[in-house]
Chain A
Amino acid sequence: MISRGQFYFLTVNFTLGTTLFVTINNMIEEAGPDAWMMPLWAGLGGMLAALLWIALLRCAPGRSPVEIARDAWGPIAGLIVGILYLLVFCTIAAWVLRNLSDFMNVTIMPKTPPTIFHIMFLLVGAYAVAQGSETVGRMNAVITPFLFFPFWLSLALAAEEWKWERLEPAFRDPWAFFQYPSLLAFPFLEAFALTMFWPKVRPGAAGALVSGIASAAVSLSLVLFMVTGLLGPERAARINFPIYTIVQEVSIGRVLVIIHSVLTVTLITLIFVKLLVLLYAAFETIDRLFRPTVRWPHLLALAILISAGARTVYENPVQNRLLIDRYLLIYDGFYSVLIPALLLVTIWIRRSLAGRARKG
């Protein structure tokens, strides 16, 4: 069983996952010095969605959303919803891996083909998932300190370049978030994958899920605040990977001048955790739908599908960004808000009918 603390850290790392690497410059481009407020709005939205999921999961304790769908809508519709979720988790995992290989190719390892990064992470992830959910929870608990301290240490070391002028004029348009709604979708609605852990988590984990999303939102806005203060909104908006540039300019005295590749590699562990959760969610869906008796072949199949997906999820980051702005919110909203809402409604209707039948 996964303890509440481990589930909390899982939520935080999952939500922070690739957001640190991909959306920071888009947010600063949108809102300039006020960008750090945007994740707070998005976090609020994420928490509301989490409350919806918890309400759904409370209706059927100990059962994951895929099973709830099968109970509520019958076997055929349940199977369709199950397959839909399986494809959704694989697509997001593909997106995550593609972001990783883009980041690695642009920054420290330009000539390595992207598929190598995908396969290596998928292999390690498959091993961890094959060992079960307890291993996933504990692994995340062991990795988090090695991730948390170097990241904030490097930001603290870079604080020497801090200038308050970069954050002025402050509060010019705090409502900037609403022109960039895909931020709500990108990290926060994807947290739906965590609900697949529900049967394996100790009861009372609802608080952990909501506070995890909240603290992820707060730390994301803190990171944005630091990035704007260290690089200045102009530069941060234009640089593709601002975190990498900050880490590049960190220097400890005159000896350790350039340690960015070490810090970059430790930061990638965040992406690994996100992939791990998605891989576990996908495998859990297969487990609940088809009751397999073996683990490794299905993980191998998932690896093939996701590595193929990672190669074809988008042509290039620019095209990806254009499509994300238009479709991501609808896409994420569909599977993580619409379907759970419909499920909830069906269950309530069923209950009220059963209640009236018993009374009648």
Chain B
Amino acid sequence: MGRPSHNRSIGAALAEHIQTALGSPPDLICRSVTTEENRSVLIIYLNSLVDRKTVDEFIVKSVRQNAFAESPAVSGSRYLRELPLASPGETLREEAVRAAVSGQCVLVDEGRERVCFIDTYEAPGRGVEEPNAEPTIRGSYEGFTENIRVNIGLIRKRLLNPALRLEEMRIGSRTGTCVVIAWLEGLAPEALVREAKRRLAAIRTDSVLESSYLEEYIQDRILSPFPTILNTERPDKTVAHLLEGKVAILTDGTPYVLIAPLTFFDLFSSSEDYFQRADIATFIRWLRLISFFVAVFAPSLFVAATTFHQELIPTELLISLSAQREGVPLPAFFEVMLMEIVFEIIREAGLRMPRAVGQALSIVGAIVLGQAAVEAGLISAAVVIVVAVTGITNFVVPVYSFGMSQRLLRFTFILLAGFLGLFGILCGALLLVAHLVSLKSFGVPYMTPMAPLTKSDWRDTLVRAPRPWRDPNRLPASVRLLKRK
């Protein structure tokens, strides 16, 4: 009866090999189950990555009742993969190790002389919660999670449409992260989809832990303060953009989904605009545009007005401001710079602290510090007001990464204003316009409805036109431009 012992030695050897390959981790389970015909079957899996309920009830029980291999529903699907026992030891071992590591259940069945790999992957993870970076008053509270299957489910739930195409890629030699490109067939231009696939395929990296890794590889221009790819945690926003013919890139292990192409005016629209009434949404959108200009230009205009063109300030205000400045040592430029840096430090500290403490720290910190500095005569009160206002307006814009780029711009403009006053700010603004206009996101000009003037798009950028007025199947100009290519 050599054959069975010979077979058992293969199963044991295989288990032995996996044990050594994975460095005998505590969560590696090796169970031998005897079927009714008292044949022993070896089951090997990592219980941290496996759905224990499926393994215990379904696999073990069906193996015991020996009804396992014959049931047609199970065999032949991706769900089950088989390898003949006689296949060369090397591929068998390698296949087994990769299967065990990726959460599959390795089943050595000497009786039927085959090794089966059953996909029972069930990673631990957080449930669907409200995205804390993009809260909305009205609209769904569902946010993406780290598990890509859940994310795909959240998108499919809202898009019961056969035209939704999902294409999976493995990126990262070491982490082998699963990246899925989603688009709507017939709506998204082929050029855009081809370009997205080409750029993703061209990525040579060892690890992809967050979608921002991908973003840096596939974005159009690296040295630019403006994001050319949108990242969001909200499935409704993703579906809205998919319906506009854009491409979404989901990454396993991170709730942030990348959406391309992105234009300048998309940065100012949040998903809430589409759930609120049209006129309120338009007002809020204008509010965001104004807050963008305030956040970037307010401190530099203050510095320019107080140090170069004092005649801009009305007389009464000029008198009270110069009274405030009596005895303040620092010139206005350094004062504003100092307060900006202090404000940034407080904000960063507020973020890093646990939520309850963080909230208190940033508000108390800013006010107390500002007030104390004013009393001590280090800073004039007007500077504290200006810095506080710009700090707050910085958060109005819905895309958080754009908020950070606003800070970069603000510091450069303060520098220019300190050097040349309004003329410096003008040069900075012209450079900014030149940069924005030359920027492209996946072939789509960044300032689309404004730079290559397309009138039809104004309905959805500066103004959110009410639904009845909008032609539903008319794609935004940015995407239509690509269709023509």
Interface residues of A (CB under 8 A from B): 3, 5, 104, 108-109, 112, 116-117, 120-121, 123-124, 127-128, 131-132, 134-135, 138-139, 141-143, 255-262, 265-266, 268-269, 272
Contacts and interface: CB of A to CB of B under 8 A. Distances in A.
Nearest to B432: A124
A131 B438 contact: yes
Interface string B438-458: 100000010100111100000
Interface of B: 308-309, 311-312, 314-315, 420-427, 430-431, 433-438, 445, 447, 450-453
B453 A5 contact: yes
B422 A142 contact: no
A139 B433 CA distance: 6
A117 B423 CA distance: 8
A132 B438 contact: yes
A123 B427 contact: yes
A269 B425 CA distance: 12
B445 A138 contact: yes
A105 to B, nearest CB: 11
Nearest to A259: B312
A127 B453 CA distance: 22
Q: Lowest 8 A-B CB distances belong to which pairs?
A: A131-B438, A138-B451, A261-B309, A128-B434, A138-B437, A135-B438, A265-B422, A258-B311
A15 B452 CA distance: 22
B225 to A, nearest CB: 14
**Listed residue (A123, A127, A261, A266) with the most chain B CB atoms within 10 angstroms of its CB:** A261
**Listed residue (B423, B425, B433, B445) with the most chain A CB atoms within 10 angstroms of its CB:** B423
B422 A262 contact: yes
B422 A139 contact: no
A124 B422 contact: no
Nearest to A119: B427
Nearest to A135: B438
B138 to A, nearest CB: 34
A123 B435 CA distance: 13
A139 B420 contact: no
B433 A120 contact: no
29 contacts: A3-B453, A5-B453, A109-B308, A109-B423, A120-B420, A120-B427, A124-B427, A124-B430, A127-B435, A134-B438, A138-B452, A139-B430, A139-B434, A141-B450, A142-B433, A142-B447, A143-B433, A255-B314, A256-B314, A257-B314, A257-B315, A258-B311, A261-B309, A261-B312, A262-B309, A265-B423, A268-B423, A269-B426, A272-B430
A120 B312 contact: no
Contacts of A108: 308-309, 422
B329 to A, nearest CB: 24
Nearest to A256: B314
Contacts, number: 87
Contacts of B434: 124, 127-128, 131, 135, 139
Contacts of A258: 311-312
Contacts of A104: 423
Nearest to B428: A124
A108 to B, nearest CB: 6
Contacts of B309: 108, 261-262
A121 B420 CA distance: 12
Nearest to B314: A255
B304 to A, nearest CB: 9
Given A132-B438, A139-B437, A258-B311, A112 B445 contact: no
Contacts of B420: 109, 112, 116, 120
A43 to B, nearest CB: 26
A26 B410 CA distance: 42
Contacts of A112: 420, 423
Given A109-B421, A257-B315, A269-B426, 4 more contacts: A131-B437, A138-B445, A262-B309, A268-B426
Contacts of B312: 258-259, 261-262
Contact of A142 (B421, B425, B451): B451
A262 B310 CA distance: 11
B99 to A, nearest CB: 52
A256 B317 CA distance: 11
**Listed residue (B424, B434, B438, B453) with the most chain A CB atoms within 10 angstroms of its CB:** B434
Nearest to A268: B426
B417 to A, nearest CB: 12
A127 B433 CA distance: 11
A135 B446 CA distance: 11
B47 to A, nearest CB: 57
Contacts of A269: 426, 430
A120 B314 contact: no
A341 B107 CA distance: 90
Contacts of B430: 124, 128, 139, 143, 269, 272
Contacts of A266: 426
A310 to B, nearest CB: 15
B312 to A, nearest CB: 6
Given A138-B452, A139-B433, A255-B314, A265 B438 contact: no
Nearest to B316: A255
A4 to B, nearest CB: 11
Contacts of A141: 450-451, 453
B453 to A, nearest CB: 6
